[in-house]
Amino acid sequence: MRIHITVRSRQGAGNGTFRRAAVCAASVLASACSADVLEVVDPDVLNVGDYSTPAGAAPLKNGVLADFYNAFSGSIDGVVVVTGALSDEVRANDTFIDRMSVDARKVEEVNPNMETPYRGLHRARSGAARTIRIISESTPNDKTGIAEMYTIRGLSEVLFGEMYCSGVPFSEEDGVTTTFGDPQTTQVVLQRAVASFDTALATVDSNRVRYVAQIGRARALLDLGQYAQAAAAVAGVPTTYRYTTFHSTASARQENGIWNATGVNSSRYNAANNEGRNGLNYLQTPADPRMPWTASTRVGFNSLFTQLPTQLKYARTTPVVIADGIEARLIELEARLQGGTQGDRDAVFAGLNTLRTTNTPAVTAIAGTAPTTQAAAVDLLFRERAYWMWLTGHRLGDMRRLIRQYGRTAESVFPTGDQGAPIAGQTYGPDVNFIIPFDERNNPKFTGCIDRNA
């Protein structure tokens, strides 16, 4: 007697490859093999054809969201952590030069650890584009699902614009062929993002997705220096609104990577405070409710770093805010500040205190009166933005805007000078953005950054 078993071989996601194996009992006389086949099908793997159905739409969308969450805040080298390291929110305490060089503003093109966010954002962006095509055909009435995919595409494009030097290409693939993209200037990248959000807003039939598309669009417009348009874009977004990632202990990939990066023993990073002369005072005593932390005896992966502070904003499964109503209000206040009058500065000061005192838990109101100079008012607004959106992937983009739109010098915005203990004598470099990784040189149209400036 012979038993024929069909075993699925997972040689690729959903490729439907099968491997047949004949298992014969040694003690049984040889005989003609049975034609009966026992099919063993792995139910958690979809064939390519299964995606183009109403039943396949939900797994596709969930996969794109999972990819974006992982790129954004699910890895210790995700967007939130590495942008925090290049800015003033996070300090590397590693032995790997890949991470230490970013913290020191000395970004290298060949840096395996920094390929993680670049690849992750492209994976989410291209996955969203493919999913839009498929569900637009299979489930065209899923307006919110289609709009959310356009929104994820737009958010990815915004982050490319805020993180990287000018010159990011956007290649496309349809599962068979790859069409290499031309390098895009930062302005064009941000305009692409606005277009993605425009399509999302023209499609959506759910406030849950409508509001994040509005905020994402306003964020891109703010990066473009279009303040009035940015303020108009967030009209109607409730201050209480939140659009967040999802993290769980189901797998290491789903855990909160910010916690893994900054809150465990032998962590590769830690929350920074007053970094490099210009760094903000995030770890205040008593702690600001927006930036909870505690002292600890933790030691970094590099044992030279001891007594590391532990941020308490995130635990292993804490969701991370991607966009919220507080950001919407801050965008409106920045637009108001462009008026440049004392009345505008007074209104912005009052608005900042309203956000503080109506928060849960409440934050003590800023003492005194509004700044009397525009430069001081800008300082206050950006400090409040940094505190409200601490460790949410906004700070690097804001620091670059201070240079590009407000005329500040890089050395007055970014950490500078001696890096201090425990690596005193090591100085910060000049970089204000990430170099597009060497991997992109596989694209024959790409020859490197167009511009490394702000």
How high is the pLDDT of residue 9? 36
Q: Which residues contact 265 (CB under 8 A, 6 or more apart)?
A: 298, 299
Q: 3-class DSSP state for residue 2?
A: strand
Mean pLDDT of all residues belonging to the chain: 91
Confidence of residue 23 (pLDDT cuts 50, 70, 90): very low
pLDDT at 50 over 80: no
Return the structure tokens found at 287.
């702690």
pLDDT at 21 over 60: no
State the Cα–Cα distance between residues 403 and 414, nearest whole angstrom: 10
Tell me if 20 sits within 8 A of 4, measured CB to CB.
yes
Residue range 84-128, pLDDT digits in tens: 999 999 999 999 999 999 999 999 999 999 999 999 999 999 999
Side-chain-side CA neighbours of 160 within 13 Å: the count stands at 35
Q: pTM for the complete prediction?
A: 0.89
Query: Helices 186-203 and 207-223: crossing angle, nearest 10°?
Result: 160
- Return the bridge partners of 323, or none: 243
pLDDT at 31 over 60: no
Tell me if 277 sits within 8 A of 70, measured CB to CB.
no
- Mean pLDDT for 401-420 is 97
Confidence of residue 454 (pLDDT cuts 50, 70, 90): confident
State the Cα–Cα distance between residues 104 and 427, nearest whole angstrom: 7
Residue range 254-266, pLDDT digits in tens: 999 999 999 999 9
Q: Considering only 36-40, 49-53, 242-246, which range has the smallest mean pLDDT? A: 36-40
How high is the pLDDT of residue 176? 80
Residue range 346-376, pLDDT digits in tens: 999 999 999 999 999 999 999 999 999 999 9
pLDDT at 30 over 70: no
Percent over 70 (pLDDT), the chain? 89
How high is the pLDDT of residue 42? 60
Confidence of residue 57 (pLDDT cuts 50, 70, 90): confident
- Return the bridge partners of 169, or none: 183
Q: Which residue has the tokens 């299979």?
A: 138
Compute the Cα dihedral for 239, 243, 249, 255 and give only its sign. negative
Pairing of strands 2-8, 37-40: parallel
pLDDT at 232 over 60: yes
Other CB atoms closer than 10 Å to residue 8's CB: what's the count?
A: 15
- Strand ranges inside 208-326, DSSP E: 242-244, 269-271, 293-298, 308-311, 321-324
Going by C-alpha positions, the residue among 437, 440, 415 that lies closest to residue 428 is 415
- Mean pLDDT for 432-448 is 97
Give me the DSSP letters along 46-83.
Answer: --HHHHTSHHHHHHHHHHHHHHHHIIIIISTTSHHHHH
Q: Considering only 46-60, 156-170, 174-188, which range has the smallest mean pLDDT? A: 46-60
Confidence of residue 12 (pLDDT cuts 50, 70, 90): very low
Q: Which residues contact 177 (CB under 8 A, 6 or more apart)?
A: none
- What are the φ and ψ backbone dihedral angles of 7, each rounded to 5 degrees? -120, 130
State the Cα–Cα distance between residues 27 and 107, nearest whole angstrom: 66
Percent over 90 (pLDDT), the chain? 85
Higher pLDDT, 53 or 195: 195
Sketch the domain layout of the chain as residue ranges.
Answer: 2-45, 51-246+320-417+435-440
Confidence of residue 177 (pLDDT cuts 50, 70, 90): confident
Q: Give long-range contacts, CB 8 A cutoff, 24+ apart: 287-292.
A: 287/312, 288/363, 288/387, 289/359, 289/361, 289/362, 289/363, 290/359, 290/363, 290/387, 290/388, 290/390, 291/387, 291/390
Give me the DSSP letters along 103-143.
Answer: HTT---S--GGGHHHHHHHHHHHHHHHHHHHHHHHH-TT-H
Compute the Cα dihedral for 2, 3, 9, 15 and give only its sign. positive
pLDDT at 311 over 80: yes
Percentages helix, strand, coil for the chain (3-state, rounded to 5) are 45, 10, 45
- Mean pLDDT for 9-18 is 36
Peptide bond into 422 cis (omega under 30): yes
Tell me if 351 sits within 8 A of 333, measured CB to CB.
yes
pLDDT at 27 over 50: no
CATH of domain 51-246+320-417+435-440: 1.25.40.390
State the Cα–Cα distance between residues 22 and 71, nearest whole angstrom: 43
